[in-house]
Structure 1
Amino acid sequence: MSDPRPTDPPPRVEVRLPGGRTLPGRLLAWRQGPDGAWWAQAIIQVPAAAIRQVAGEDYTAVPREPAPRPSAGGYVLAADTRPGQPRTAVLHAADCWTLGKAAHWTTITPVDDPDQARALLLIDDTTACDACGPEQHLPTAP
């Protein structure tokens, strides 16, 4: 049996959740408990809405990996979703570096259509990102 190279991704698994639903995952390790039962340490991806942050924990160092920018261009809308705060949104190029520093209360929504991106900038609570300047890359309106 050969050892996997450190650059190889962990092997794929299916993780069965309560209720019978399964999610794809990656198996990191097997661990045996003091009672002899085996446990799997695995990585799964779940929708962000399924995660509840724990009060007192610091999430600022958790990396964010925005979706790659489509080859034909693309935009995303970053909206502030804090309760009790005024709704504000910022239009970004999909590969804007500032999206990696977005706060946990920020909702990121892809905007694939340039006309829709242009229309979003006409809404009072929506601005263009100062870092990536997405409005400079929008095709001119017909």
Structure 2
Amino acid sequence: MSESRPADAPPPRVEVRLPGGCTTPGRLLAWRQGPDGAWWAQAVIQVPAAAIAQVAGEDYTAVPREPAVRAPAAGGYVLAADTRPGQPRAAVLHAADCWTLGKLARWTMITPVDDPDQARALLLIDDTTACDACQPAP
């Protein structure tokens, strides 16, 4: 007899074989049996955002975003980019400790930038500006 998992425990880990033979880690949510008797696994996998194509007419604004786990280096910078589909590209460079970062919209993607040379180069891109509040000066 198997022991049941606590309700707050994450689903068990699995390896998902993708077309072409590659595998990626995932979490097994459920087993479902189809009308033909074949079993199917309902699983969740994580893939790079570049592997996802959004479908026209779907609303993605309520999809939760989790900020990066890795904190930028002390004295570092972060780039806050607007990721809403159909919006003009726009990014703002902030000092890593900028107080406005806690007030960003859920569709904002934060990318740590630890190298001051890279931060300076980002400010040369037309759609990137420096934060008015923290005024980063890499």
Length-normalised TM-score, structure 1: 0.66
CA root-mean-square deviation: 4.0
Check whether the contact 1:63–1:100 (CA below 8 A) recurs between aligned residues. no
Q: CA deviation at 1:121?
A: 3.8
User: Residue 50 of structure 2: SS of its match in structure 1?
Assistant: helix
- Paired-residue identity, %: 90
TM-aligned CA distance change 1:71 to 1:109, over 3 Å: closer
**In structure 2, distance between residues paired with 1:17 and 1:81:** 27
**In structure 1, distance between residues paired with 2:69 and 2:7:** 21
Check whether the contact 1:68–1:95 (CA below 8 A) recurs between aligned residues. no
TM-aligned CA distance change 1:83 to 1:71, over 3 Å: closer
What are the residue-to-residue correspondences of 1:1-142 with 2, within 5 Å? 1-8=1-8, 9-69=10-70, 70=72, 72=74, 74-79=76-81, 88-92=90-94, 109-118=111-120, 120-121=122-123, 125-129=127-131
TM-aligned CA distance change 1:88 to 1:105, over 3 Å: same
Work out the number of aligned pairs and report it: 134
Q: CA deviation at 1:5?
A: 3.6
**In structure 2, distance between residues paired with 1:20 and 1:64:** 29
Check whether the contact 1:88–1:125 (CA below 8 A) recurs between aligned residues. yes
**In structure 1, distance between residues paired with 2:97 and 2:64:** 15
Structure 1 unmatched runs, 5+: 133-140
TM-aligned CA distance change 1:56 to 1:119, over 3 Å: closer
TM-aligned CA distance change 1:75 to 1:6, over 3 Å: farther
